[in-house]
Structure 1
Amino acid sequence: MITINPGSGPVDGATAEHARTNARAFADELATALGRDPGDAQVTDHDTMQNGRGHFSIRLDEQSYEIEMPGLPLERVRYDGASDQNIWDFPRLYLDGSSWVWIYAIRVCLRDPDEEDAPT
């Protein structure tokens, strides 16, 4: 059996409240990674849940991202590569139409827009 992009399917048991909390946490982590204060990023909730993910826009200065954030508790969505985490257990979020686990979505946001290669 071959599995491509595990965690990219529907998210069972998701709520809009968790999706909102997660979108804000993602925006705060992104702002911090860019040397900004948490809260500097604007998060717009489009009040749409589909397949267990809420749709949000995140804007920080001139950069803007469309996010479809899983609506599970943050600790079940925020994969950061810790030794006690198994990447297979985490749903992917969608960033500008492509699916990523949390840590790689942050890295995509941090890369130079002119860079051609995706982060590893």
Structure 2
Amino acid sequence: MITINPGTGPVPDATEANAGASAAVFVLDLSAKGLPVADAVRSPEQDHGEGRYAFTLTMADPTRRTVEVQMPGLSIERVRFMGEDGQNIWHFPRLYVDGSSCVWQFALDACEPDEEDGE
């Protein structure tokens, strides 16, 4: 079997409660990175389905731009890949940030403003 983009498929055993708890930690990680979030809202009408749950984050930057995050509904230790010792990237599902898939560590980077956002 050849895997082209691991972690992008369905997320079995996912729950909305786990996704909400993980989204709260994601917001904290963004703040620690210097990207504070003014508001985080669950957006069920935007769900991709198959175990991912949509959240709309309104950033606290001057543009108050929004970012859509599709959060896998697994417990935080199964979603929050930060490249730490003992973590295997192949075992972590990907988040989607504005439609692009990436593991948690890089999803944080994907929330940074674009150059044209005036930052």
State the TM-score, normalized to the length of structure 1.
0.84
Q: Please state if 1:52 is matched with 2:51.
A: yes
Identity value in percent: 43
Structure 1 residue 94: Cα displacement: 0.5
Q: How far 1:35 sits from its partner (Å)?
A: 6.4
What is the match of residue 14 of structure 2?
Answer: 14
Amino acid paired to 1:64? T
Task: Calculate the aligned-residue CA RMSD, in Å.
Answer: 1.8
Aligned AA for 1:27?
A: V
Q: Number of aligned residue pairs: give it.
A: 111
User: Which residue identity is paired with 1:114?
Assistant: E
Matches within 5 A, 1:25-40: 25-34=25-34, 36=36, 40=37
* Structure 1 unaligned blocks of 5 or more: 116-120
Structure 1: 4+ residue segments shifted above 6 A? none
Task: Identify the residue that residue 85 of structure 2 maps to in structure 1.
Answer: 83
Asked whether the 8 Å contact 2:94–2:101 carries over to 1, the reply is yes
Segments of 5+ residues of structure 2 without an aligned counterpart are none
